[in-house]
C-alpha cells in the first residue's frame, strides 16, 4: 500500500492530465507499477504473486484510480488473466506465463465482456482437428499495443451446456504474434480512458491449439459467477471521489466559497458511510439473490457519489474546469466511465433508479409544498 501511494502521489497524479490526452499510457507508468510489485497482487505466491486479500487490494485500487484513472484501468485489466491462469488446469500454459505476469515483465489484457450480452454470440469457437477455430468481433479490447497476453473468450458453437445455454472457451492470445486471422481496428475515440488504446478485435478463422486453451466452462455458470463478481462495489469510484473532494476542499479554502466547503464536508461524510456499507456487504461473502441485490444497490450508490463529487468540483471551479489541463473535467468523464464499466442489467436499473430518486428527493426538499 505504501508503494502504491508513493507512485500515486509522485508519478501518476502529477501527469494525469497529460496521460489522459496521450495516445497511450506511458510504459514508464506500467514499468513503475511492476517494479513496485503491484502486478502480482492477484497471483499465487508460488508463482511470484502476493495473493492479496481485499483489505490489501482495496486501498491500492483507490490510491491508483484516484491518481490516474486510465493508468489504473490498464493495470487492473492485467489481473484478470493472472486469475484465469492461476485457476487453469493447463499446467504448461500456467507455468509458461504466470511468473512473467506476476512480475509484470508481461502485461495482460482481456476480451470477454461480450459474454454478458444476450443475443447472438459476438465471438464463436468451433472444434477443429487439434484445437479450435475462432470467428467474430470483440467490440472493446483495452491495452492493445500495450499488453502482450490477452485472455479471450468465445462461445462454443453447439456447445450444449448444463441448461442448454452453451459453453464458453477461454484461450490466450499472444499479441506479439497474432497472425493474419486477427485484425485490430485503430484505437477507438472515447470520451474517457482514451489512452487505454481500446480497439475492436476481429477474428477470422483463428486457429487455437488445444494446448493454448485455459478452460471451457458452462456459459450459464460463468454468467452467474460474473453477476456475483460485478455486483460487488468497485474501489475505483471511491478513489476518484476522494480526489475530487480533496480538490473541492482546496478550492473552497482558496476562494472562500462556503457552499463548496459545506458540500465537500457533506460528501466526505457520505463517502465514509458509503464505503463502509459497500465493503461490509462485500465481506459478507453470500451470493443469494437478496444479498446480490443489496450489493448492486450499494455499487450504484458509490457510482452516483463519484458523479456528484466530480460535478461539485466542476461547479465550484467554473469555466476553468472545462480546460483539458484541469482535473475537474477529467474526473467527471472518468466518473461517467465507471458508471458503465462492467455494467449489468441490474446495475443499470439500480443506477437509473437512484438517479431518479435523488432528483425527486432534491426537488421535494427544495419545494416542500409541492404535491
Please count the structural domains in the chain.
3
Q: 306: closest CA among 62, 70, 142, 78?
A: 62
Percent of the chain at pLDDT exceeding 90: 86
Stated as kind and residue range, the H or E segment containing 128 is strand 123-128
- Whether residue 269 has pLDDT greater than 70: yes
pLDDT tier at 367, thresholds 50, 70, 90 = very low
Euclidean distance between CA atoms 353 and 16, whole angstroms: 32
What are the start-end ranges of the H helices in the chain? 2-7, 16-21, 27-35, 54-67, 69-77, 79-86, 91-103, 219-231, 236-255, 258-284, 289-317, 327-340, 345-366
114 and 143 in a single domain? The answer is: yes
Residue 118 shares a structural domain with residue 68: no
pLDDT tens, position by position, 188-209 = 999 999 999 999 999 999 999 9
pLDDT for res 309 = 98
In a domain, 224, yes or no: no
Average pLDDT (332-354) is 94
Statement to judge: residues 123 and 212 lie in one domain: yes
Residue 353's nearest CA partner among 279, 303, 311 is 303
Containing domain of residue 66, as a range? 2-103
Claim to verify: residue 244 and residue 207 sit in the same structural domain:
no
Structure confidence at residue 164 as a pLDDT band (50, 70, 90)? very low
Partnered with residue 156 across adjacent β-strands are 125
Does 237 lie in the same domain as 210? no
Closest CA to 267 of 305, 214, 232, 320: 305
Residues 51 and 132 in one domain: no
Give the model's pLDDT for residue 159.
58
**pLDDT-derived band of residue 40, with 50, 70 and 90 as boundaries?**
very high
At residue 371 the predicted structure's pLDDT band, cuts being 50, 70 and 90, is very low
Band of residue 356 on the pLDDT scale cut at 50, 70, 90: confident
- Same domain (yes/no): 255, 356: yes
Q: Say what the pTM is.
A: 0.92
Per-residue pLDDT band for 359 (boundaries 50, 70, 90) equals low
**Is the pLDDT assigned to residue 56 strictly greater than 70?**
yes
Average pLDDT over all residues of the chain = 92
**Same-domain check for residues 6 and 75:** yes
Instruction: Please give the pLDDT value at position 178.
Output: 80
| Span of 24-28, 162-166, 265-269 with lowest mean pLDDT | 162-166
Q: Same structural domain for residues 201 and 171?
A: yes
CATH number of the domain that residue 206 is part of: 2.40.110.10
pLDDT at residue 146 is higher than 50: yes
Interval 214-230 mean pLDDT: 92
The residues facing 206 across adjacent strands are 134
Q: What is the pLDDT of residues 305-340, one digit of tens each?
A: 999 999 999 999 999 999 999 999 999 999 999 999
Write out pLDDT tens, residues 61-119: 999 999 999 999 999 999 999 999 999 999 999 999 999 999 999 999 999 999 998 88
Residues 348 and 296 in one domain: yes
State how beta strands 182-184 and 131-141 pair. unpaired
Over 60: is that where the pLDDT of 168 sits? yes
C-alpha cell recorded at residue 323:
480546460
Choice among 27-41, 239-253, 286-300, 346-360 with the minimum mean pLDDT: 346-360
For residue 160, the model assigns a pLDDT of: 53
At 288, is the pLDDT very low, low, confident or very high (cuts 50, 70, 90)?
A: confident
According to the model, what pLDDT value does residue 358 have? 62
Amino acid at each position: 500500500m505504501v508503494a502504491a501511494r508513493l507512485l500515486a502521489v509522485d508519478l501518476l497524479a502529477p501527469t494525469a492530465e497529460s496521460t489522459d490526452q496521450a495516445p497511450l499510457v506511458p510504459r514508464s507508468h506500467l514499468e513503475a507499477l511492476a517494479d513496485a510489485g503491484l502486478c502480482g497482487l492477484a497471483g499465487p505466491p508460488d508463482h511470484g504473486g502476493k495473493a492479496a486479500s481485499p483489505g490489501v487490494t482495496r486501498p491500492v485500487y483507490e490510491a491508483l484510480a484516484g491518481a490516474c484513472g486510465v493508468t489504473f484501468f490498464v493495470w487492473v485489466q492485467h489481473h484478470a488473466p493472472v486469475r484465469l491462469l492461476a485457476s487453469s488446469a493447463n499446467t504448461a500454459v500456467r507455468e509458461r506465463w504466470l511468473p512473467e505476469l506476476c512480475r509484470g515483465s508481461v502485461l495482460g489484457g482481456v476480451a470477454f465482456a461480450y459474454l454478458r450480452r444476450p443475443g447472438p454470440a459476438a465471438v464463436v469457437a468451433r472444434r477443429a482437428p487439434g484445437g479450435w477455430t475462432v470467428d467474430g468481433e470483440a467490440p472493446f479490447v483495452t491495452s492493445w499495443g500495450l499488453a502482450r497476453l490477452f485472455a479471450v473468450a468465445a462461445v462454443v458453437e453447439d456447445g450444449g451446456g448444463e441448461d442448454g445455454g452453451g459453453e464458453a472457451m477461454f484461450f490466450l492470445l499472444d499479441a506479439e504474434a497474432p497472425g493474419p486471422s486477427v485484425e485490430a481496428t485503430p484505437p477507438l475515440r472515447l470520451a474517457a480512458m482514451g489512452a487505454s488504446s481500446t480497439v475492436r478485435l476481429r477474428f477470422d478463422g483463428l486457429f487455437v491449439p488445444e494446448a493454448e486453451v485455459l478452460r471451457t466452462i458452462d456459459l450459464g455458470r460463468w454468467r452467474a459467477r460474473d453477476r456475483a463478481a460485478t455486483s460487488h462495489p468497485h474501489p475505483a469510484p471511491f478513489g476518484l471521489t476522494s480526489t475530487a473532494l480533496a480538490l473541492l476542499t482546496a478550492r473552497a479554502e482558496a476562494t472562500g466559497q462556503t457552499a463548496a466547503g459545506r458540500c465537500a464536508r457533506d460528501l466526505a461524510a457520505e463517502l465514509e458511510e458509503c464505503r463502509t456499507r459497500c465493503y461490509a456487504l462485500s465481506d459478507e461473502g453470500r451470493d443469494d439473490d437478496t444479498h446480490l441485490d443489496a450489493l448492486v444497490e450499494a455499487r450504484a450508490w458509490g457510482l452516483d457519489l463519484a458523479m456528484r463529487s466530480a460535478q461539485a468540483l466542476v461547479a465550484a471551479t467554473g469555466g476553468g474546469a472545462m480546460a483539458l489541463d484541469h482535473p475537474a473535467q477529467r474526473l467527471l468523464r472518468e466518473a461517467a466511465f465507471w458508471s458503465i464499466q462492467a455494467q449489468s442489467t441490474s446495475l443499470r436499473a439500480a443506477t437509473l433508479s437512484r438517479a431518479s430518486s435523488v432528483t425527486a428527493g432534491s426537488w421535494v426538499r427544495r419545494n416542500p409544498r409541492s404535491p
